[in-house]
């Protein structure tokens, strides 16, 4: 069982002057689950992309099943039984599971439907995957889509699987299911690499862990022989204080009230369905939910970026629905939304920090000319106070690392002392130290008396940071809970759409 599936020796890969991987060593055995751990930008994706043939290394060697290989395209990698399951599914919605599996396969056009269905059935039974070959992808929940991605890779004969952040889009229940599948694959002798930064999951599923930091491999440890704090220390390079100070605030008037708000998305489907809640001064209201449950529309409707189909939004007693984003900004409502590509909204990638800081201020300036002076000082102040790593305030933000980009965005929004601060995924892609710095900043805002709406991904953080947690499922509020009084699993059930009553019924059974 201990024969090596993958061995990567002294891998170096540079992009321009930046070394993404430097002398990285990485070995995976058959029949093990190997976690590749590291902060964003540590070089995990680069390393795996070399394994799947997307990049080729500048130097170093790769052995698959003991043989030296050189990939010139992903095809070569697939031919050797390596399959990668990406964070973003590469499935075609209008096709069935079966069609998605055979698409792009040689000779697939004439494959007999029945034989294929049998083969798929056999594979899914073997690994405990729950796949109906004739179901269309758009009818599938996220967990099933992921299972389909896995079966797609297995169908192509992969016995070395790489899963990139597989749990990001899943509910706790779905994660459990996924881990069972992974364990089944391990039993069958597959080698599984799982890329993640969620430490709890690493401890639960993996056999061994390799830690990357700033492009270098720091070490490989056996999961049984390690503890979370030492993993963090290896990831970050120093000891980190991981406590969130829950601050108290005296002020608790109602700041923002949403009343039966319904919002349509780009395809005229209801993205928010009669959402009602209120946000108080001096509180952090968390928003939990699997990806695309209406979080974006919620934030945007408050900021005035998308019109609401129905309902009312009150700010300090005044209905702000129908006001322009500019007017809403002037009233003191600020939003920082970090989309998946990080730069899509809120920052202008090609512009420097100063010009990104000006974005919210310039409209207040008099005259036709743009005055940079005060904004340069402001930019320097924000860079200082949030310890943003940048050569200067005149560096285009796209040249900064993800964490620093987010600090620029959040720093700008906080700097204006907003009354309501809406942040979505503010720590997405940030290193652990920076994340905790951001939590602290949000806490400060709350202490100052601002109402903070915090859309998050990590349930542990939501429960620790927030005064209340609102759960969204498919555009509906399925519950607003006090995190001190419920468990993570309770919230997970709400995320899947089970109402509180249903949950109570389940418990009574």
Partner 1 sequence: MIKIAKRAELPKNREWAIRAAAVLLSIVFAGTVLAALGFDPIKVFAQIVNGSVGSQMRLNQTILKAIPLTITSMGILVAFKMKFWNIGGEGQIMMGAMGATYAALHLPPDLPSAAMLVLVAAAAVVCGGAWAFIPAYFKARFGTNETIFTLMMNYIAIKWVTYLQYDLWKDPSSFGFPRIAAFPPSAVLPKLFGVHVGWLVAVLSVVLVYIFINHTKKGYEVTVIGESVETARYAGMNIKYIMITTMLVSGGLCGLAGMVQASAIEKTLTYSLSANFGFTAIITTWLGRLSAPAVAVCCFAFAMLIQGGAYLQIALLIPASVAEMIQGIILFFVLGSEFFIQYKVAFDHRAIKGVA
Q: Which is nearer to partner 1, 210 or 356 (CB)?
A: 356
DSSP letter at 400 equals: S
CA distances to 212, 280, 341, 372 from 428, in Å = 19, 25, 10, 30
- Contact region for partner 1 (CB under 8 A) — 100-108, 160-168, 358-366, 429-437? 358-366
Number of residues that bind partner 1 (CB under 8 A): 44
Determine the interface stretch with partner 1 among 152-160, 253-261, 264-272, 319-327 (rule: CB under 8 A): 319-327
Least Å from the CB of residue 311 to partner 1: 21
Residue 303 as a binder of partner 1 (CB under 8 A): the answer is yes
Of the candidates 336, 323, 313, the residue with the CA atom closest to the CA atom of residue 418: 336
Q: Which of 95, 116, 345, 432: binder of partner 1 (CB under 8 A)?
A: 345
Q: In whole angstroms, how close is the CB of 65 to partner 1 at the nearest point?
A: 9
**HSE, side-chain direction, 13 A CA sphere, residue 230:** 13
C-beta of 343: minimal distance to partner 1 in Å? 7
Least CB distance to partner 1 at residue 49 (A): 12
* Complete DSSP assignment for 425-490: STTTT--HHHHHHHHHHHHHHHHHT-EEEEE-S-HHHHHHH-SEEEEEETTEEEEEE-TTTS-HHH
Q: How far apart are CA 242 and CA 232, in angstroms?
A: 10
Residues 65-84 that bind partner 1 (CB under 8 A): 67-72, 76, 79-80
Nearest to 141 by CA among 169, 107, 180, 113: 169
Q: How far is the CB of 276 from partner 1 (least distance, A)?
A: 25
Smallest distance, partner 1 to C-beta of residue 488, A: 32
Give the residue from 301, 297, 336, 483 showing the smallest Cα distance to 423: 336
- For position 363 contacting partner 1 by CB under 8 A, the verdict is yes
Closer Cβ to partner 1, 373 or 507, answer by number = 373
Nearer to partner 1, 48 or 78 (CB): 78
- Closest distance to partner 1 from the beta carbon of 154 (Å): 20
What is the residue whose two structure tokens read 């204006």? 416
- Closest to 64 measured CA to CA, from 54, 79, 49, 85: 79
How many residues in total does the chain contain? 509
- Binders of partner 1 among 257-296, rule CB under 8 A? none
CB of 216 to partner 1, least distance (A): 20
- 421 lines the binding site for partner 1 (CB under 8 A): no
Applying CB under 8 A, which part among 64-72, 142-150, 152-160, 448-456 lies near partner 1?
64-72
Query: Comparing C-alpha atoms, which of 238, 284, 286 is closest to residue 433?
Result: 238
The count of other CB atoms within 10 Å of the CB of residue 123 is 16
Judged by CB under 8 A, the stretch of 225-233, 321-329, 462-470, 481-489 that binds partner 1 is: 321-329
Of the candidates 90, 151, 146, the residue with the CA atom closest to the CA atom of residue 120? 151
Options 102, 154, 168, 358; binder of partner 1; rule CB under 8 A = 358
Put the strands of the sheet holding 208-213 in their side by side order.
82-85, 160-164, 191-196, 33-37, 208-213, 216-222
- Give the closest residue to 275 by CA, choosing from 305, 314, 310, 316: 310
The least CB distance from residue 77 to partner 1, in Å, is 9
Q: By CB under 8 A, which span of 276-284, 359-367, 473-481, 484-492 interacts with partner 1?
A: 359-367
Instruction: Choose which of 119, 186, 216, 360 interacts with partner 1 (CB under 8 A).
Output: 360
Nearer to partner 1, 344 or 374 (CB): 344
Residue 307 binding partner 1, by CB under 8 A: no
Asked if 105 touches partner 1 (CB under 8 A), the answer is no
| Contact between 26 and 11 (Cβ < 8 Å) | yes
**According to CB under 8 A, which one of 194, 329, 414, 481 is a site residue for partner 1?**
329
Nearest to 251 by CA among 453, 450, 466: 450
- CB distance 490 to 503 below 8 Å: yes
Judged by CB under 8 A, which of 236, 264, 359, 480 binds partner 1?
359
Query: 442 and 259 in contact (C-beta within 8 Å)?
Result: no
Between 79 and 236, CB nearer to partner 1: 79
Q: Choose which of 331, 349, 461, 480 interacts with partner 1 (CB under 8 A).
A: 349
Long-range pairs of 225-229 with CB within 8 A, sequence gap ≥ 24: 228/199, 228/200, 228/203
Using CB under 8 A, list all residues that contact partner 1. Answer: 15-16, 18, 64, 67-72, 76, 79-80, 303-305, 324-329, 335, 337, 343-351, 355, 358-360, 362-363, 365, 367-370
């Amino acid at each position: 069982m201990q024969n090596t599936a993958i061995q990567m020796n002294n891998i170096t890969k540079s992009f321009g002057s930046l070394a993404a991987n430097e002398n990285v060593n990485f070995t995976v055995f058959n029949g093990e689950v190997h976690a590749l751990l590291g902060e964003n930008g540590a070089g995990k994706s680069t390393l795996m992309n070399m394994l799947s043939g997307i990049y080729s290394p500048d130097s170093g060697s790769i052995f698959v099943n003991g043989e030296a290989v050189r990939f010139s395209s992903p095809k070569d990698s697939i031919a050797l039984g390596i399959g990668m399951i990406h964070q973003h599914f590469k499935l075609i919605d209008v096709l069935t599971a079966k069609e998605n599996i055979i698409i792009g396969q040689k000779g697939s056009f004439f494959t007999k439907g029945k034989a294929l269905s049998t083969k798929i059935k056999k594979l899914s039974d073997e690994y405990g995957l729950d796949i109906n070959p004739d179901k269309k992808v758009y009818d599938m929940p996220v967990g099933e889509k992921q299972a389909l991605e896995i079966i797609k890779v297995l169908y192509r004969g992969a016995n070395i699987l790489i899963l990139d952040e597989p749990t990001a889009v899943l509910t706790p229940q779905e994660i459990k299911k996924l881990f069972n599948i992974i364990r089944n694959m391990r039993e069958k002798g597959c080698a599984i690499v799982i890329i993640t930064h969620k430490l709890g999951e690493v401890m639960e599923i993996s056999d061994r862990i390799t830690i990357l930091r700033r492009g270098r491999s720091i070490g490989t440890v056996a999961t049984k022989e390690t503890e979370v704090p030492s993993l963090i220390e290896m990831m970050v390079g120093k000891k980190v204080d991981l406590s969130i100070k829950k601050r108290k605030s005296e002020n608790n008037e109602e700041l923002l009230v949403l009343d039966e708000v319904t919002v349509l998305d780009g395809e005229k489907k209801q993205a928010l369905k009669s959402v009602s809640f209120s946000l108080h001064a001096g509180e952090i209201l968390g928003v939990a939910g699997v990806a695309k449950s209406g979080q974006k529309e919620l934030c945007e409707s408050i900021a005035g970026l998308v019109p609401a189909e129905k309902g009312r939004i009150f700010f300090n007693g005044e209905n702000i629905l129908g006001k322009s984003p500019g007017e809403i900004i002037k009233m003191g409502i600020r939003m920082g939304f970090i989309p998946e590509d990080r730069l899509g909204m809120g920052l202008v990638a090609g512009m420097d920090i100063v010009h990104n800081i000006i974005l919210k201020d310039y409209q207040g300036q008099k005259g036709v000319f743009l005055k940079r002076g005060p904004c340069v000082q402001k930019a320097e102040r924000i860079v200082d106070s949030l310890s943003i790593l940048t050569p200067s305030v005149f560096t285009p933000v796209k040249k900064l690392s993800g964490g620093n980009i987010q600090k620029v965005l959040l720093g700008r929004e906080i700097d204006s002392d907003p009354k309501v601060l809406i942040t979505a995924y503010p720590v997405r892609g940030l290193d652990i130290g920076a994340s905790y710095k951001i939590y602290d900043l949000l806490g400060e805002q709350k202490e100052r008396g601002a109402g903070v709406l915090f859309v998050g991904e990590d349930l542990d953080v939501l429960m620790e940071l927030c005064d209340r947690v609102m759960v969204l499922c498919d555009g509906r509020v399925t519950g607003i809970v006090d995190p001190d009084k419920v468990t993570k699993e309770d919230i997970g059930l709400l995320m899947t759409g089970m109402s509180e009553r249903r949950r109570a019924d389940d418990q009574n059974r």
